[in-house]
Amino acid sequence: MLALTTTLSLAQEQKYSARVVDGETGEPLPYVSIYRSKGHGTLTNEEGLFAISANAGDTLSISFIGYEKLRLPASRLKRIVQMRPIRKTLREVTVEATEAIMKKVIRNMTEDYKNRKSAIGTYFFRMTTEDFKSKELAEAFISAHSAINLRDLQFRSGYRGEEDTEGDLRASHMSFTNAHNLLQLGPMVNESSFWRLDFIPLNKATYGNQKNQREYALFRTYDFRHEILISESGDLIYKIPITFKADTVSGKVLKESRGHRIHETVIDIPNALPNEDLSERRVIEGLLYVDSKTYRPLSFSGRVLNFQLNLRMADRDFYEPISMDFHVDYTQENAFTEVKTFSAHLNNRLLDMRILLFNVQSGDDFTKKKKKNSSETGDNMQKSIDDAGFDSTLWTKDIILRTMREEEIVKERKTQERHEK
């Protein structure tokens, strides 16, 4: 009987798909979480579309921070799923109350990192890069230390495809990239040489030799005040904008020669830090959502100020300012704060880059022997993807649907591969 029941259950499993939109504006909602059960889930893509394998009687949980959660049987899934923003708020708050909340958040995140820093998650990764000449898509499965922020990335399987304006596959215009450093970002960042000297909201202050150096940078260099969101189910969420105090964060071009630009950035923080050269330090600010019961982060939507990108194209070096927005979602399913999803968008006059990361498995032992086809990420992320090789069995999971543009890039790659055989 047990075997028969299992067989019938598997036979009934099918793909369910829909588009998730804001119930008030009708705008697609990207990176909404859809779960069937622990370990079986997916995200919407940038167009709000998703597909997931499930039985008709399975209950799908659809969630997005700042919106009311939805739970419905897969059989009742409509083509368009509308999510309603949480509207009920309590606005009578003070800075002192917010500071007390943030101290608890910082303490809990610090403890989670200390106690679970060896924990590892497995993630599906996708990155697209586009410029005036070419477009490239990379997909991979990676493992990383996952408590608080991602560290020590290891590629398990990867794939890259590229087209130029004529639709021909060619060598990457970014043959070297350390873009994996972007995946380390969050409101608190540990073990990162790349972001070590930058302004990270929940990291401790490390500037100068002042007696109060142990104070958190948050209370000296950021403005913040919270409001309380109350969902229909009665859950309370703290919504906390965190804004940099600097009077000026601006830049100007000092010199330009043969496409190489040198910029100067001015960061002025009155009475906040000792007299130091801050011109090369990046600044992170954004919007933090916190669980009112556990005082642990739910999500952080951030932006990077004073960010410069070094891009080599057509035998020329471009050192350009670039805009970067990113979003990280957390989960506490394993009793600690773990990165669940990460997305980022970078763009300037030369380049548009989009990154997406989604946790597909947690709880692996990082001390286990490396898989034969794994590749540790050094300074060159693209080389690590190529070295890891391609394992088609990993792509049987419910991964995030590609957008129409991403499918076009992959199609060009497959067409070129057939021509080469």
For 60-84, write each residue's pLDDT tens digit. 999 999 999 999 999 999 999 999 9
Rounded Cα–Cα distance for residues 76 and 78 (Å): 6
Give the span between the Cα atoms of 34 and 329, in whole angstroms: 13
* Domain co-membership, 31 together with 176: no
Q: What is the pLDDT of residues 118-150, one digit of tens each?
A: 999 999 999 888 876 778 888 888 899 999 999
Q: Provide mean pLDDT across the span 321-347.
A: 94
> Is 417 inside a domain boundary?
no
For the chain, how many structural domains are there in total?
Answer: 2
pLDDT tens-digit map of 157-170: 777 766 554 444 44
Output the pLDDT for position 137.
Answer: 85
Final residue in a domain of this structure, among 61, 85, 109: 85
Residue 85 · residue 96 · CB < 8 Å = no
Q: Which domain holds residue 122?
A: 90-396
The answer to whether residues 67 and 103 belong to one domain is no
Q: What is the pLDDT of residue 161?
A: 67
Q: Clarify whether residues 201 and 61 are in a common domain.
A: no
Select from 40, 68, 85 the last residue of a domain: 85
> Above 60 in pLDDT, residue 1?
no
172 vs 313: CA distance, rounded Å: 10
pTM of the model: 0.84
The most confident of 104-113, 171-180, 386-395, by mean pLDDT: 104-113
Domain boundary among 85, 104, 133: 85
> Would residue 416 count as lying in a domain?
no
Question: HEC profile for the chain?
Answer: CHHHHHHHHHHHCEEEEEEEEECCCCCECCCCEEEEECCEEEECCCCCEEEEEECCCCEEEEECCCECCEEEEHHHCCCEEEECECCEEECCCCHHHHHHHHHHHHHHHHHHHHHHCCEEEEEEEEEEEECCCEEEEEEEEEEEECECCCEEEEEEEEEEEEEECCCCCCCCCCCCCCHHHHHHCCCCCCCCCCCCCCECCCCECCCCCCCCCCCECHHHHEEECCEEEECCCCCEEEEEEEEECCCEEEEEEEEEECCEEEEEEEEECCCCCCCCCCCCCCEEEEEEEEECCCCCEEEEEEEEECCEEEEEECCEEEEEECEEEEEEEEECCCCCCEEEEEEEEEECCCCEEEEEEEEEEEEEECCCCCCCCCEECCCCHHHHHHHHCCCHHHHHCCCCCCCHHHHHHHHHHHHHHHHHC
Assigned token pair, 9: 């259950």
Q: Give dist(CA 206, CA 262) in Å, integer.
A: 27
Same domain, 80 and 98: no
Identify whether residues 296 and 275 lie together within a single domain. Answer: yes
| CATH number of the domain enclosing 38 | 2.60.40.1120
Q: What is the pLDDT of residues 272-327, one digit of tens each?
A: 555 566 667 888 999 999 999 999 999 999 999 888 877 665 555 667 788 999 99
Whether residues 41 and 119 share a domain: the answer is no
Q: Which residue has the tokens 């959502």?
A: 289
What is the token pair recorded at 49? 């579309």
Question: What is the per-residue pLDDT for 419?
Answer: 40
Per-residue pLDDT band at 3 (split at 50, 70, 90): very low
Q: What is the mean pLDDT of the chain?
A: 79
**Are 65 and 113 in the same domain?**
no
The pLDDT of 383-393, averaged and rounded, is 74
pLDDT computed for residue 215 by the predictor: 56
Tell me if 176 is assigned to some domain.
yes
Residue 196 counted as domain residue: yes
* 412 domain-assigned: no
> Looking at the structure, do residues 173 and 210 belong to the same domain, yes or no?
yes
Q: Provide the pLDDT for residue 245.
A: 83
Rounded to an integer, what distance in angstroms lies between the CA atom of residue 296 and that of residue 330? 9
Are 58 and 380 a contacting pair, CB within 8 Å? Answer: no
Is residue 60 located within the same domain as residue 142?
no
Same domain for 284 and 176: yes
Report if residue 346 sits inside a domain.
yes
Q: Tokens for 416?
A: 């070129």
For residue 295, being part of any structural domain is answered with yes
Q: Report CA-CA distances (Å) from 377 to 77, 178, 384, 385.
A: 40, 9, 6, 8
Cβ neighbours around 380 below 10 Å, total? 15
pLDDT of residue 184 exceeding 80, the answer is yes
Domain co-membership, 165 together with 21: no
pLDDT number for residue 212: 46
Structural domain contains residue 62: yes
Q: Which range in 44-58, 166-180, 388-402 is most confidently predicted, on average pLDDT?
A: 44-58
Examine the domain organization and report whether 189 and 60 are in the same domain.
no
